[in-house]
Amino acid sequence: MLPLPRHFHREQRRLEQAGIVAWDQLAGLEDRALRDLGSGGGASERQLIKLRAQARLVCEVGLHPSEAALLLYAGIADRRGLAQADPQRLWVQMGRLQRSLTGMAVPALELSTLRQWIAAAQAGPGRSRN
């Protein structure tokens, strides 16, 4: 799981203090555990919830952490949401988002890649494309 983006440094520190150092550990945390971690000081419960959603996409769909983060920014919060997504619509939305975040420095996602992600999400947890 490590390292997380800079804006999650407090959450990363809190997770490490709790012995949570892998995506699968974070993906399995219940709401109460996130609340407890957030109330322990320094970490934001809201940020921890975002990280758990990212971890679930990583573990359940087999995405790279940066791919899962991009989907979250595009409004896809879980495997079921991705499984139900329209590939063409998501591709357009992701392209706009990616350009606004990275400009033209990063190559745009291929429609075929998004279709693979959707197929992996439809296949269910533990059946990643990797």
Q: Per-residue b/e over 84-121, b at no fewer than 16 CB within 10 Å?
A: ebebeebbebbeebbeeeeeeeeeebeeeebebbbebb
The string of pLDDT tens digits covering residues 77-118 is 999 999 999 999 999 998 888 888 777 667 778 999 999 999
Residue with tokens 């995506």: 23
The string of pLDDT tens digits covering residues 39-79 is 977 899 999 999 999 999 999 999 999 899 989 999 999 99
pLDDT for residue 126: 59
pLDDT-derived band of residue 119, with 50, 70 and 90 as boundaries? very high
Distance in angstroms (rounded) separating the CA atoms of residues 60 and 5: 21
Q: Pick from 71, 67, 108: which is nearest to 90 by CA?
A: 71
